[in-house]
Amino acid sequence: MGRCVPVLFPTWGAELRRTARIVRRRPSSAAPLAEPPSCLAWRCPSADSHSPQPYQAAAQGRASARRLQRAPSVFVARCVQRIRFSAVTRRRHYTLGKRADARDATRRRIVEATMACHQERGILATTLRDIATRAGVSPGTVLNHFPRMPELVQACGALTAATWPFPGDEVLAGRLALEDRVRAVAVALYRAWDTPFAPIVPRLQLERAEVTALDAWFSDVEARHHALVRAALPAGASGAQLALAYALTSFPTWRTLTSEGLTTEEAAAQAASAVLSVLDRPQGASRARVRAREEPPHADADRGSR
């Protein structure tokens, strides 16, 4: 251990030489100096340089240690003090700084490249090399950020949620009339469907059964859609009315209406009118109409003859 001290603390060499000079200038009439400990043997000379075993006293335990003179004791105390001071003041707290920004930028670039590949090929057909080539990084860099493909799919879902906020109960704030509530929900949902991710939704719906993370994302969107429609309708709405309102404000209905040339606002107005017509109809009217269609035309004549 003693031989490592000059390497770590070069200034100790001067202190050792000064201590050695104090020891050599000691008057010969004084009591003989005890030998320094073995950790200082490489620099501090013995008082009796002709002794064949100059450091035997340091190995004799506490009895020899009590015979150490003041100069070596002060030097050892200073060494300990410097070691403690260096351990406290030279401790470095490493922070990433710009490296963290570069790492986050690379991670986002990988996620965006993955979403672009999913839009072109789908999730199941996208390979690791496709993502790396699109992002401009190596396949190892992609694996370093996302060791497994489900983690990358989840990151794509998180980025989609951040850039595509799904409407919530805030669209109903301050709206008390049923017509206003239904129209506000229809407009908010149709605007949500009209996003850059709309072209890949049909393909993703076909792959959700094989990708767990994708199925969880679709399930979350569907649950929030159901909750918003339920909050817009009156408390006494039947299950059939809720189902019809959900279907009329769903993504397939928006896609069908807009593919016929309607704008998102026009399609939302048509959907809201259809939902209101369903709510205005009595709950038993549809059942009576279905029964009337199932009965033959001569059923009324038979009843009258009886």
CA distance 149 to 124: 10
Is the same domain home to 202 and 281? yes
Is the same domain home to 152 and 178? no
Q: How far is CA 115 from the centre of its chain?
A: 17
Q: How far is CA 181 from the centre of its chain?
A: 36
Helix 239-248, helix 264-280: angle, nearest 10 = 170
pTM of the model: 0.57
Residue that is last in its domain, among 163, 184, 200: 163
In tens digits, the chain (306 residues) has pLDDT values of 444 444 444 555 565 566 555 555 555 554 554 555 555 444 444 444 444 444 444 444 444 455 454 455 566 666 666 666 555 555 566 566 778 888 889 999 999 999 989 888 888 889 999 999 999 999 999 999 999 888 998 898 888 888 888 888 888 888 888 899 999 999 999 999 998 888 888 888 888 888 888 898 899 999 999 999 999 999 888 999 999 999 999 999 999 999 999 999 999 999 999 999 988 866 554 444 545 445 555 545 455 554
Is the same domain home to 273 and 178? yes
Q: Does residue 304 sit within a domain?
A: no
CATH number of the structural domain spanning residue 153: 1.10.357.10
CA atoms within 13 A on the CB side of 166: 19
Residue that is last in its domain, among 48, 70, 89: 89
Q: Domain range for residue 66? A: 2-89
Give me the number of domains the chain comprises. 3
Supply the DSSP symbol for 66: T
64 token code pair: 């020899």
Is the same domain home to 137 and 223? no
Supply the DSSP symbol for 134: H
Is the same domain home to 175 and 151? no
Supply the DSSP symbol for 126: -
Is the same domain home to 221 and 249? yes
Is the same domain home to 68 and 52? yes
Which residue, 171, 275, 151, is CA-closest to 231?
171
Q: Does residue 290 sit within a domain?
A: yes
Is the same domain home to 176 and 289? yes
DSSP sequence for 189-242: HHHHHSSTTGGGHHHHHHHTTT-HHHHHHHHHHHHHHHHHHHHHS-TT--HHHH
CA distance 41 to 258: 91
Is the same domain home to 173 and 290? yes
Is the same domain home to 270 and 232? yes
Supply the DSSP symbol for 12: H
Q: Does residue 303 sit within a domain?
A: no
Residue that is last in its domain, among 110, 140, 163: 163
Is the same domain home to 81 and 36? yes
Is the same domain home to 82 and 105? no
